Amino acid sequence: MANKKDALLWSIALPGFGQLLNGKPLKGIVFVLLEFLINVQAILIK
């Protein structure tokens, strides 16, 4: 398990990565995919 502070900072920067660091890969991947889909639908990524 990663340091809780590291996981928090990763989650702020890239949603889902904190969960990946804490050993919850399914939840982390779901959050990463949702973040990607929301950004694509909002046309924030050009």
Question: What pLDDT, on a 0 to 100 scale, did the predictor assign at position 5?
Answer: 84
Question: What pLDDT, on a 0 to 100 scale, did the predictor assign at position 45?
Answer: 57
- Measured distance between the N- and C-terminal CA atoms of the chain, rounded to whole angstroms: 35
- Residue 27 confidence class, pLDDT cut points 50, 70, 90: very high
Q: Judge if pTM exceeds 0.75.
A: no
- Return the closest-CA partner of residue 20 out of 8, 12, 29: 29
- Residue 2 confidence class, pLDDT cut points 50, 70, 90: low
Domain boundaries, the chain: 4-41
What value does the mean pLDDT of the chain take? 83
